[in-house]
Amino acid sequence: MKIKKSGILILVCLFCSVSFAQKKKELKKYGIKTIVVTDSENGKTITDTKTVFDANGQAIQEINYNKEGQLKSTIYSKYNKDGDVIEETETDEKGLVVEKRQMKYNPLGEKIEEVVMDKDNKFLRRNVYTYDARGFKTEKKVLDAAGKLISSKKYSYSK
């Protein structure tokens, strides 16, 4: 079965419009307070995630559910004046803190560091990000509590 070019173009446009509709300014413009994602399989519909937004269109709470539709975890986010996430707190299904993350940004708004702590604020690991002159991420290093390199990811870009 052949798909016509116009059909593909329509699908691409539809996908783009759905993707763009979830940008911060669009959420703010239309007063969107929550987005719920459901998963339907074998005649059963289960909530996958629910995201709650503030008046600025920033996700302040993300609720995650397991495959049975039961609460799995919740992530609470705080932002700086530039709209960058500076802190995330993840809780389990009972509302108990599992992990905390604090982020730092350079003057260009690029995330350069993420510190991960446990429920008692004990330092677990640190993620360090580097960028090239164009602002493209070039590396992510994960360091343990002692500063020892756990892993490293390198990013390369080509045309």
What proportion of the chain, given as a percentage, has pLDDT over 70? 85
Last residue within a domain, chosen from 72, 93, 114: 93
What is the spatial distance between Cα 126 and Cα 116, in angstroms, rounded to a whole number?
6
The count of domains in the chain is: 2
133 in the same domain as 73: no
128 in the same domain as 65: no
Residues pairing with 100 in the sheet? 89, 117
Which of 51, 58, 67 is closest to 25 using CA atoms?
58
100 in the same domain as 89: no
The mean per-residue pLDDT over the stretch 41-67 comes to 94
67 in the same domain as 107: no
Mean model confidence pLDDT for the chain? 87
89 in the same domain as 28: yes
75 in the same domain as 120: no
**DSSP assigned state of 55:** T
Instruction: Determine, yes or no, domain membership for 139.
Output: yes
Residues 6+ apart with CB under 8 A from 43: none
Instruction: Determine, yes or no, domain membership for 81.
Output: yes
Residues pairing with 144 in the sheet? 125
Q: Which parts of 16-157 are beta strand (E)?
A: 34-41, 44-53, 59-65, 71-79, 85-92, 97-105, 111-118, 123-131, 137-144, 149-154
The mean per-residue pLDDT over the stretch 125-134 comes to 96
Structural domain span for residue 128: 96-159
pTM, to two decimals: 0.77
43 in the same domain as 73: yes
CATH for 149? 2.40.128.720
Rg (alpha carbons) of the chain, rounded to whole number:
19
